[in-house]
Structure 1
């Protein structure tokens, strides 16, 4: 006869629930994320989670707040153009470790105060570089859109093609600038390159 599990039930908190939900989303995707699955990961039943959250919608809100809260903030973002590039590359790398996060941000369903420190630091840095007022705010929005586009667009149209006829059959990839067959493209490096070029255009 199977013995019953003894001991106290696991102590739940919103922090432990978010951590379990984040792990499931990171490893299995958002489609796999359910209240039942989170409860199972924590060793309890759904009823125990409903004492802390109302439904899956609130679970997604908690995840969105968590990812916004942990966006990297650098106080030296405006020290130089390269510091600004590094600031955005850090944010890109962070979101890339949580593939579901960019979609939540891009969908715009949640407006989160937790993201304010990241935004404020970026805008302040842009001001220090000379982009003030509305120009700095527009630059910030352009950089956000660039980052989300690079994260969400896993297979850009014309990927590896640098010009008319480039990348055709038998053409040397070292001349076209495209990746060799089977070569993994460093998308983070591509993003940093794009940020640098965008800043060059904005700052002159």
Structure 2
């Protein structure tokens, strides 16, 4: 039987940051539905009671995990053009959530509001304003782009359209829709 490194060897002293990192590993690998305090404790080589010293239960752990996810959203600064900057930003968010597949369902469920997400919201909305949108329209466009992104990541069904149509979740399909939306927001002709 292979030996598991001790908690100290693998993670250092037990604290909330270490617990959230272990939870992220489990959620990334097995999904949020498989995340339990017991599994986190086992992965850290400690008992569940030790985990409870840092988080009150699974709900608090998931909230901390969502906060950690939001804090890690990439902020892309691309000086070539406002459209390119916005395009690269949303592609980066897509890649990031693809690396953390539990993230899109957690965001869509809306059970947890991560304060750290405000950083991304302000950044991405400012990018949309640079496209020429007013504050209200930039906020609307931001929500539309989230709906596109989450719908794309959550819908793995082939949509019943047969082999000639890309499967939902295909990144090129997302990028095509993203480009067309950004062109519409900027009032520029669509590129195919």
TM over 0.5: yes
2:31 pairs with 26, 29, 40, which one?
A: 29
Matched, 1:195 2:178: yes
Q: Which has the larger radius of gyration?
A: 1
Distance 1:66 1:202, change over 3 A: same
Q: Distance in 2 between matches of 1:131 and 1:194?
A: 19
Q: Distance in 1 between matches of 2:168 and 2:130?
A: 33
Contact 2:131 2:185 in 1 (8 A): no
Q: Deviations over 1:14-33 (max 9, x none)?
A: 11101111111111122221
Q: More displaced, 55-64 or 24-33? A: 24-33
Gaps (5+ residues) in structure 2? 1-5, 188-192
Alpha-carbon distance change, 141 to 185 in structure 1, aligned in 2, over 3 angstroms: closer
User: For 2:84 and 2:161, how far apart are their aligned partners in 1?
Assistant: 26
Residue 112 in structure 1 maps to residue 114 in structure 2:
yes
**Higher-helix-fraction structure:** 2
RMSD (Å) for aligned C-alpha atoms: 2.4
Q: CA deviation at 1:56?
A: 0.5
Q: CA deviation at 1:101?
A: 0.5
Q: Shift of the alpha carbon at 1:62?
A: 0.7
Moved over 6 A (4+): none
What TM-score, normalized to structure 1? 0.81
Task: Return the alpha-carbon distance in structure 2 between the equivalents of residues 159 and 62 of structure 1.
Answer: 39
Is 2:140 the counterpart of 1:138? yes
Kept after mapping to 2: 8 A contact 1:127/1:136 = yes
Report the 3-state secondary structure (helix = DSSP H, G, I; strand = E; otherwise coil) of the residue aligned with 2:116: helix
For 2:169 and 2:137, locate their aligned partners in 1 and report how far apart those are by CA, in whole Å.
30
Give the match for residue 190 of structure 2.
Answer: none
- TM-superposed CA distance for 1:189, in Å, is 1.8
Q: How many residues align?
A: 180
Matched residue, 1:50: 52
CA–CA separation in structure 2 for the residues paired with 1:79 and 1:119: 19
Q: Give secondary structure in 1 for the equivalent of 2:146.
A: helix
